[in-house]
Amino acid sequence: MQRRSFVAGTAVFAAGLAHLSSAQAAEVGVTDTEIMLGSSAVLSGPLGSQIKVVHNGAGLAFDAINEQGGVGGRKIKLVALDDELKPEKALENYGKLLNDHRVFAFFGCVGSGTTAAAAKLLQQSGAPSVGGYGVGDSARERVAGSAYFVRASNAREAQALVEHLSTIGVSKIAIAHLDNPGGVEAVKLIEAAMATHKQTPAAVVSVKGDGSTSAAAGKMLADSQSQAVLMYLAGTVAGEVIKATYGAGSKPMFYGMSIVPGEVTAKVVQLQASGLAISQVMPYPWGEVESVTRDYRRLAERAQVPVGYGSFEGYLNGLVMIEALKRTGRDLTRARLHATLRALRLRLAGMDIDFSTGSTTGSRFIEMVRVTPEGRFVR
């Protein structure tokens, strides 16, 4: 079995992008045998395990095409650097990826503040960024013209969740969010969605990404006596917050935006009858109808990558990048890849992806899925 082509490292800032001419930049990261991609992402701490799963899913797509000789005879290699979700660290990583690793394009970068911090550098380099994860809507706008996001917007998720709760008669809603730019923006989007139903949150609770305030957050949520809690939490943090809320004597319904990893959460806490539902922005990974979905599961089982929404999202993002590279052709430049992505329309696993409208976001797909106490997903 071929090992996934990921290289991890510690970011070291490397300046000097300005001295590259546009002609030189167009050739960077592409040889006769290889296409080099780069990613700055949180790969450590409570949030890192989730991102590694997403990257491993992308690795399934890249390894599969590499085994067939690559794209136009060029194999894809991804260099992933840990930015700990810190904007200054991410900026160093982007610089190092461009100047030291000399990547052609970016793939699978993570976070709102980290992505926004790289906006100017992305524009100057001309390097496209594809398949970002956990990037808020305002950060997407900051990198418009440079980045292409497959997953639906956070605004779409917030609207779907609030509409669902309104439909079933739930109005006393609390919000638990990560204390980062993406989390703050998610709160505003949920509040805006609630306002359309003349509602306001019963409580808004900020949670540190390292999980250190999970117990206190759970106590605050329990004290709010909410019927439901909407979460913008990642990694193991969502499970710790639910566990703390249960421990404080409250068992509300929990609803997560798609960054909440259901299978991880179920391992952290024994979900109660009220359970957990998540607004998924990717198709059901266990479906039998779509050949893309069946191929993904076959590759995941062979590589011993856990089948789930995280790895499936990485896989589908990888297929989008591969298809864009294929359509761009052998004369591969950053400008040509941008042109291809701006016109890209395709359907994967029953999900329509369309960047031809000029939007930074390709998909509007949303599906509500419940997580069982055993960690299985039920539509």
Same fold, 6-152+288-354 and 154-280: yes
pTM over 0.85: yes
Q: How far is residue 266 from each of residues 42, 239, 375, measured CA to CA in Å?
A: 22, 7, 5
The 10s digit of each residue's pLDDT in 284-308 is 999 999 999 999 999 999 999 999 9
- How are beta strands 203-207 and 228-232 bridged, if at all? unpaired
Closest to 53 in 3D by CA, of 335, 314, 316, 277: 314
CA-based Rg of the chain, rounded to a whole angstrom? Answer: 20
SS3 content of the chain, % helix, strand, coil (to 5): 45, 20, 35
The 10s digit of each residue's pLDDT in 220-247 is 999 999 999 999 999 899 999 999 999 9
The 10s digit of each residue's pLDDT in 344-359 is 999 999 999 999 999 9
24 CB-contact burial (10 Å; exposed 0-12 / middle 13-18 / buried 19+): exposed
Structure confidence at residue 21 as a pLDDT band (50, 70, 90): very low
The 10s digit of each residue's pLDDT in 107-133 is 999 999 999 999 999 999 999 999 999
CATH architecture of 6-152+288-354: 3-Layer(aba) Sandwich (3.40)
Dump the DSSP string for 94-148: HHHHHHTS--SEEES-B-HHHHHHTHHHHHHH---EE--BS--HHHHHHTTTTEE
Residues 205 and 352: their CA atoms lie apart, in Å, by 35
DSSP letter at 152?
P
Structure confidence at residue 341 as a pLDDT band (50, 70, 90): very high
Q: Where are the domains of the chain?
A: 6-152+288-354, 154-280
Has residue 163 got a pLDDT over 50? yes
Helix pair 214-223, 237-247: axis angle to 10 deg: 50
Residues 345 and 359: their CA atoms lie apart, in Å, by 12
Q: Which residues, including other chains, have CB under 8 Å from residue 362's CB and lie 6 or more apart?
A: 148, 149, 150, 320, 344, 353, 354, 355
- What is the CATH code for 154-280? 3.40.50.2300
Closest to 209 in 3D by CA, of 228, 192, 188, 232: 232
- Which region holds residue 73: left if phi is over 0, alpha if psi is between -120 and 50, else beta? left
